[in-house]
Structure 1
């Protein structure tokens, strides 16, 4: 698979987190009024497991308000994390039943299907288990056919803006089986040419890709 390059780069290095007085405020969830690929993405991400929590960075007021208007109304539990009275993060948990109804009654974008409705759906693979025997591969974009899609760009533009401090966004997905066919996925074709780098985390014992990581 010439389009994947094994890497030993440190991909989980941290950044200097804000220091100071921590406050956590719980707020009431608003009524759902909009539906976008962005809200669908985070609903489907949180449906991977009952205890899944999305902790979304809020680097500025614009991103914070988008989180609260487009994404937060889909969740029951909303926590606002502050350092020195400055909002730095929104924590979301427990998808509303209404949100699931909306999702189940529509055709979601194929890229979201690829991320969260993979062929390993019924394999019994533990998405949240430890993976001691793992490898990381960097996607080489010059081997990938580019894809243009305004709706997918809307999602990636938001992720990039949300992660403007860390320049990094990774998430667990429904495991993909490692194969050359993956480079035909719309998700790979778009991300490979949009992101600075794309990394695939592989369970060597099962040859399943259990996490994807974007560098912006």
Structure 2
């Protein structure tokens, strides 16, 4: 993954920390902005391509200077002796590393990124799963898509069109609802205007309104200003 990140994002990428467990791997690296979805997909594709190649993972012990001359990437925070362990995966990745590894890249099975986030200024974090964990993630995502498709009375093949249609219908209904609220406010303003009384040449209107949304109330007051000269109102919260 380190080599794939450098290929996709640039050679400024350097490992800044990591954690590997039997369930998930975490990889911190230097990068100044969030990865785009297309970049995440490209990294996944590159790693999985190397997995499918089933490359042998070769281990060599050599002098530190020779390893660096070979292009081996040193890992953040590691202190190396003069003799170091160099791991190579074909022509794709060469790193200094003391950890345990699979014998071949194909043993990994499948690689899947589950999250990408920032941990500090200039530091990003990827969490990923492999093998059975990656397959479980794929199945879980597929199940969620199928559930959503069922709710929208569609299938995973036309899910995007269904969601866009629902969003468009929601926007249309919200617009129609606002129009109805404006009409109701105008009608209520007209009703209130007829109740205004003349007090020494000044029109006075006193009325108690309940359950009126603030936006609707402002519309009503604007209408009343034009018809009665009302310019001040008071709400239940003292405004």
TM beyond 0.5: no
TM-score, normalised to structure 1's length?
Answer: 0.19
TM-score, normalised to structure 2's length?
Answer: 0.18
Structure with larger Rg = 2
Q: Which has the higher contact order (CA 8 A, sep 6+)?
A: 1
